[in-house]
Structures are given as C-alpha cells and as structure tokens.
Amino acid sequence: MVEPREAARRNQILEVATTLFAQQGYRETNLAQIADELGFRRQAVYHYFRAKDDILYELIAEAGEAMTSSAGPIFDSDSSPEVKLAELVRNHVRVVSSDPSRFRIQFNELNKLSGDRAKPLQDGISAYIHRIADVIQDGQRAGVFFDGPPTSLALLIIGMCNSTTEWRDGARTKASVDEIADNAARLAVVGLTGTRG
C-alpha cells in the first residue's frame, strides 16, 4: 500500500511535469527542472520515477483511463445512437477540459511513443475511437446518420472535442465547459443527421 505522503509527492511530481511538458515540450524538459520546480534534489524524483519516460507514460495512461472509464457507461447504455453520441461528445469535452495540459501532452506525444509500453496506451485510444465509430455505424444502420466512413467521422468529432483544449481558456470564449460540451454535442448530432452540403 502506498503511503499518503508518498502518493502526494508522486502527484506533485506529475503535476509539475504536466505544467513543464505543456509549457516547454516533453523533449525540452528534464528531471532536474522538475526537481528544481518542486524544491527537490533530482535524486528525490528518481525515487518515484526512474526516468522522464516513466512520467510521460503515467500521464498518458491517466488521461486515457479518465476518458475510457467515464465513457464506458455511455457506450454500454441502451440509448439511441443520437443520444449516445451526444452524451459521448459532452463527456469528451468535459474530460479534456478537466485537465487540458495533460490531454494536450497525450495528443502530442502518444503517437511518438514506441515499444511494449506504448502499445497498450495506443490500443486503448484506438479502441475508444472504434467504439465511437460503432455508435455512428449504428446510427447509419438505423437511418438516422448519413452514410460515410464511420472511423473518419469519429475522428472528425474527436478532433473537434480535443481542440477545445487549445482555445477554451482565456479571452477566446466566455462560454462554460457545459455550454461548450452541449454545443459540440449538438454540432456532432445535427452534422450527422443533416443532409450533405
């Protein structure tokens, strides 16, 4: 069992790493900078993470888990494809908005990872995309959504949701996360139920 103090210190390292990776980029950040930011010696960081990669993998895994665990009950519901898609989009926007820096790191770094540790993370995201594509395909079979490649449509919708991490904070909008989530859901569903332009 992890001691509360140990868990708190580990979380501090993850939070500072998230900030530095988001500001400077993953490759430009080193463990000494993370330690300095926390007032630690670099060796103290090594007690929790053997390498900078370990921090990155944990950040990406936590982001992926937050998304898939919150979406699971929506995927498993008996709702219609339109309702399910709207709820998935709302959920996606809310989750990425809860920690935009961490999700930007995931978006930027996930496909650059390689090896045995990367595969489960990449497979998890692929499975999530395919589950959204399945919802779209269910709507197409029901005659509710227009015909088109479900995976491409899923990626377009996910891209729209992910982009909120780039512009939601700051002077670009006064809308709340819930308003943005509702508007994104409306765009996704109306876009798939409408006629081709």
In the structure encoding, which two tokens stand for residue 55, read together?
Answer: 């921090």
Residue 160: which residues within 8 A CB-CB, separation 6 or more? 184, 187, 188
* CA gap 129, 186 in Å, rounded: 19
Mean per-residue pLDDT for 21-44? Answer: 92
DSSP string across the chain: ---HHHHHHHHHHHHHHHHHHHHH-TTT--HHHHHHHHT--HHHHHHH-SSHHHHHHHHHHHHHHHHHHHHHHHHTS---HHHHHHHHHHHHHHHHHHSHHHHHHHHHHGGG--STTHHHHHHHHHHHHHHHHHHHHHHHHTTSSPPS-HHHHHHHHHHHHHHHHHHSSSTT----HHHHHHHHHHHHHHHHHS---
Per residue in 142-180, pLDDT tens?
Answer: 999 999 999 999 999 999 999 998 877 665 678 899 999
In the structure encoding, which two tokens stand for residue 156, read together?
Answer: 């377009």
pLDDT at 197 over 60: no
Per residue in 104-119, pLDDT tens?
Answer: 899 889 888 888 989 9
* CA gap 12, 71 in Å, rounded: 27
Per residue in 74-132, pLDDT tens?
Answer: 999 999 999 999 999 999 999 999 999 999 899 889 888 888 989 999 999 999 999 99
Q: How many of the other CB atoms lie within 10 Å of CB of 24?
A: 12
